[in-house]
Amino acid sequence: MSSSDELVEQLISLLCASTLKLATAESCTGGMIGALCTSISGSSQWYVGGCVTYTNELKIKMLDVSADTLEEFGAVSVKVAAEMATGVARSCGADVSISTTGIAGPTGGTDAKPVGTVCIGCHVQGDTYASMFHFQGDRHSVRSQSVSKALEMCLELLRRNADAR
């Protein structure tokens, strides 16, 4: 079992215990988180769905990401990751959501945002958090690390939210 598989198992446990629903909005991970979630029997109890929004146009149209935010900060930004997470939670009617946007490579990087730059957003019951990460390796490795980090981030926020109650 991979670390991502273990993380999903932990996520399922928390979501089911709280009867919370999860949605995903993915760009650089191309649906890997959604695929991992739906690979588990019974996932319809806690996973409502998601979307792969690879282009800015779809981020705007499907997730209600602001064109101004995209213009000012770029698609690979903490602001866009936060808006993606909030947008998919709202559009799917989910309590919890995860978003990813980044540069998996090997092309597309810049000095300001090199290959391996990934922004991950999480929306947990009305609160939205987003962070930027820098992963190393080839395209597959960057995407895999992004999935694991997104699941870890979501689990941490769910646990923190549960402890605050």
pLDDT tens, position by position, 146-160: 999 999 999 999 999
- Give the chain's domains with CATH numbers: 3-12+21-163 (3.90.950.20)
Cβ–Cβ under 8 Å, residues 87 and 25: yes
CA-closest candidate to residue 147, choices 82, 83, 98: 98
Mean pLDDT of 20-46: 96
Q: What percent of the chain has pLDDT over 70?
A: 98
Mean pLDDT of 54-75: 98
Distance of alpha carbon 161 from its chain centroid, rounded?
18
E strands along the chain, which residues? Answer: 22-26, 47-52, 96-102, 117-124, 127-134
Residue listed under structure tokens 């903490």: 78
CA-closest candidate to residue 53, choices 86, 90, 101: 101
Is residue 138 predicted with pLDDT exceeding 60? yes
Distance set, CA 21 to CA 4, 26, 99 (Å): 19, 17, 15
| pLDDT reported for residue 20 | 96
Mean pLDDT of 19-31: 97
| pLDDT reported for residue 75 | 98
Cβ–Cβ under 8 Å, residues 37 and 68: no
| pLDDT reported for residue 89 | 98
Is residue 1 predicted with pLDDT exceeding 70? no
CA-closest candidate to residue 83, choices 35, 44, 27: 27
